[in-house]
Chains A and B, each alone.
Chain A
């Protein structure tokens, strides 16, 4: 009993030390705090933002594509709707799809990479050939073809397809890391003790890889946002007004945002949202890098 108490107290101390370390790392550069705040802001915007607006946004046919004003800080769109309202209501689809993309990318990529790198041999061959095949599939042309048959009306569908198209790189990278880790003493010891593959992969390898995977996940979120916004911007996906990519498409191709300054706010709205989201993720990844890599800590 005393042994148990001792071990739980040790892990609690470790946790305390970890969070204290996190706080130190965050404090060192205030920009990292900004990143976290921005991410929390985007999460809030995606989850609760649309609830602040009516399902049908107010429009004004007499104020189509207006420049920024006190009433509409980023102007109006081609139906006379407020651009900020569109950015907020359009965030849910974009962020949810990006999250699904990131989760699938990381779960599939890391799973295959870990298993393949640890098992080596025949499994490695099969899974890596599969990964190579996946990497050779050109994502954009495939999506263009898919968009003719699939309407992508839900964000989950969108994220699913993007995720299934983007796990290859993560799988390759995780496998390389695993190959290096599996030669370390603690893994050899685990193997020597006859522990099961599942145990070694999930309890020994995965925790060591977790920081790397977590960072990949955040980066995959930006990848997911770029991919879907790009597709909507190109106009190859079925029309959905509440989406940043569709807003960019409408601003450029329907409202002449690149020709006349009055439509510039319509273009800037979604661009600003994408820029801030990317910035937030970069700042948080910077912090994570230091948290999980002790050598980078300037103790």
Chain B
């Protein structure tokens, strides 16, 4: 499940969005707080420490730890509804133009690299250039992509202005800019050729010359991914001291702009290869902090009983659903999907699969329950809750023409029906959930099976190829409205948004494995094209988004491309034996790594 946690975290971070807000300035001085010893943790996003990995934040197996020795311009809060709220990182403050056309970034005035050199606007510009070679969001090189940075301008030594290409604007632009690594130009500058920025500009047009430029930029991207700096030079609170297959040791960076507030003198990342190792670390009280790891109830009780052990919970902008492949019969029939929704007792599924890390979805709207209240208000209660109801399920199945023979449901023509669910091996909560659903369905006459797939990439590949009847699918990826619904009405369901134009692929083509109807008649709304509505959210303000969100929620609730099973709960494990000052319950900081808490001065050594 930690693999799932990693996926959830990465997808959460990847949900870039935009709007407008101002930043706050983080003062570099402050009263005490140092004097702490060793802070022990694990990196839930990446099992297995690679001792040969470079201190490179772009390297997939690098020894750059987010918030510790890897720094971003700002740290996205993943607020319930506003995607453009950040905590300061390298940027002390920022201004977003009211029309989203630019974001002006002010670097921390006292920010220095660990080798003593100051962090300058040139460092930021070079870092954004490096992001373009590997990147997406604001630094995509696809012609016509939404929310792309057209220009990066050094205003002065501590200020950078990044302008959006307004031909195809995105609300996510500021987030796309702020959510980027910053590395020292004096270590990394050799990677970008002198004419890089001209090449980048040219690459965003069309034609053979632009194709060539794009290829060259992508080739630089490969070098960026593989680059190994001779020494870890960081502007974060720590630098990498040494790493071996068992652990990575980081030491405090005395040049960090907020060093006076950084309590731990050292940070140790312990290696692990499975959840059970983390359970043992936690129940032995070894870890000061760990991100969410799925654990059965008894294990969780044991962890809670460890001296100093504490669980902090908050909002997690993601839910899990059982999504249907409507290109396969009988899932093309909405009554079959609804019948299954009535048959599955979501409370029981969540109790078995994710008792601590999830809350059974109250209804299936496509939005995580918590922001759903913000977006839909009182309308949320008008949606069909699909409470467990066998009689209603039978009525739906009958309406779909299914037949019940000897207590078993068959297809309309009398042939056997087996509902097959897939899950990647190692995603323990998904498998537990499917096993429970299987039992529930079999008890009610629907033959069902659970099949595991070798690993997550294979799962994604096969699900995209339309091989499964149904599969578990992460959805409701907040906080950007577009990101919430693009998992249901985006590329995987046939709608692609290229250069602001929405195109629809037939089921089975262009990655469309869900195969919903292109137009759906929704009660109380009329005919809607959910893909086009979702695409509109990309550039809509919060007020403009609200009515669209309601229409899409009603569509998802009636048409059920997926049954929303449970909303994830952000569960963090901490230990108060050695450190105090942890974030409060429900804090939006819980959606950021503990390294960010430390650099913001939250964690204090226990006196």
Contact = CB atoms under 8 A, between A and B. Distances in A.
B439 A59 contact: yes
Contact of A151 (B432, B435, B436, B451): B451
B292 to A, nearest CB: 16
Nearest to B443: A56
Interface stretch (B72-80, B129-137, B274-282): B274-282
B455 to A, nearest CB: 9
Interface string B452-485: 1110001000000000000000000000000000
Interface stretch (B255-263, B297-305, B359-367, B385-393): B297-305
A253 B352 contact: no
A79 B435 contact: yes
A50 B276 CA distance: 32
B432 A254 contact: yes
Interface string B100-129: 000000000000000000000000000000
Contacts of B301: 260
A147 B276 contact: no
Q: Which size class do B's interface residues fall under? A: 20 to 34
Given A61-B436, A235-B425, A260-B299, A252 B352 contact: no
B432 A79 contact: yes
Contact of A263 (B296, B423, B436, B452): B296
Contacts of B423: 239
Interface in B266-316: 274-276, 279-280, 283, 295-299, 301-302
A79 B279 contact: no
B401 to A, nearest CB: 26
Contacts of B450: 239, 241
Nearest to B280: A259
A253 B454 contact: no
A148 interface: yes
B352 A78 contact: yes
Nearest to B423: A239
A89 interface: no
Contacts of A255: 296, 298-299
A173 interface: no
A64 B296 contact: yes
Nearest to A235: B425
A256 B276 contact: yes
B296 A256 contact: yes
Contacts of B439: 56, 59, 79
Among B274, B351, B435, B451, chain A packs the most CB atoms within 10 A around the CB of B435
B420 to A, nearest CB: 11
B265 interface: no
Contact of A239 (B275, B283, B431, B443): B431
Interface of B is mostly: helix
A241 B423 CA distance: 14
A238 B352 CA distance: 21
A79 B275 CA distance: 19
A56 B452 contact: no
A256 B279 contact: yes
B422 to A, nearest CB: 9
B430 to A, nearest CB: 11
Contacts of A263: 296, 298
Among B299, B351, B451, B453, chain A packs the most CB atoms within 10 A around the CB of B299
Interface in B399-457: 423, 425-426, 428, 431-432, 435-436, 439, 442-443, 450-454
B168 interface: no
Contacts of B302: 256, 259-260
Contact of B428 (A61, A65, A253): A253
A262 interface: yes
A251 B450 CA distance: 18
20 contacts: A61-B348, A64-B296, A78-B432, A79-B352, A79-B439, A148-B454, A236-B425, A236-B454, A238-B451, A239-B431, A239-B450, A254-B428, A255-B296, A256-B279, A256-B296, A256-B299, A259-B279, A259-B280, A263-B296, A263-B298
Interface of B: 274-276, 279-280, 283, 295-299, 301-302, 348, 351-352, 423, 425-426, 428, 431-432, 435-436, 439, 442-443, 450-454, 458
Interface of A: 55-56, 59, 61, 64-65, 78-79, 147-148, 151, 235-236, 238-239, 241, 252-256, 258-260, 262-263
